[in-house]
Amino acid sequence: MTTEGNPPNRTVLVLSAVGPIVELPVTALAVGSFPEVAQDAAFGSSGSQVAMAVALVAVIVAVATMWAGSRVGVGTRMAVGVTSWIAAGLVATLAVGFLVGARWVVLAVLLAHSTVALGVLGGLAVRPATRPADGSERAVSG
């Protein structure tokens, strides 16, 4: 099986990762430090911190995988992409929890941005890594 398509621009990777790398630890710190914030967290204090830590690891692994480009296999890229989407779902659940509580909307906004960034990183991960030299598109049948 060949991999085709354009590799993601490294600037796009860095810009997509900076938000979650800052926002997820800040939100986890707020959830762990303030009991009134933890009350609105969808998974409670500990569960929410674990979910944000998993999402942070997913961001770092996604960027590292895509940075490597075509040296990473298609299966690995697919696994990283799906993991990023699952992490995005966890973070979206946390964002909705803070939005419904209506006291910590700023945390909901931070988590919503991280959700979008995780979705973008997941989409970039499942995209094929290289393009044929002649620019043609080939369908891969399995």
Out of 9-13, 24-28, 29-33, 42-46, least confident range: 9-13
Structural contact between residues 127 and 1, judged by C-beta atoms closer than 8 angstroms:
no
C-alpha to C-alpha distance for 87 and 8, rounded to whole angstroms: 20
Q: 76 pLDDT exceeds 90?
A: yes
Decide if pLDDT at 135 tops 70: no
Q: Is 75 exposed, middle or buried (0-12, 13-18, 19+ CB in 10 A)?
A: exposed
User: How far, in Å, CA of 13 to CA of 62, rounded?
Assistant: 9
**Segment 81-132, tens digit of pLDDT:** 999 999 999 999 999 999 998 788 999 999 999 999 999 999 999 887 555 5
Mention every residue, 6+ apart, whose C-beta is less than 8 A from residue 83. 58, 61, 62, 122
Does the pLDDT of residue 141 top 50, yes or no?
no
Question: What is the predicted pLDDT for the residue at 83?
Answer: 96
116 by Cβ neighbours in 10 Å (0-12 / 13-18 / 19+) ranks as middle
The whole-number pLDDT of residue 59 equals 96
Question: For the residues 32-55, what does the mean pLDDT come to?
Answer: 93
The pLDDT value given to residue 9: 82
> For the CA atoms of the chain, what is the radius of gyration?
17
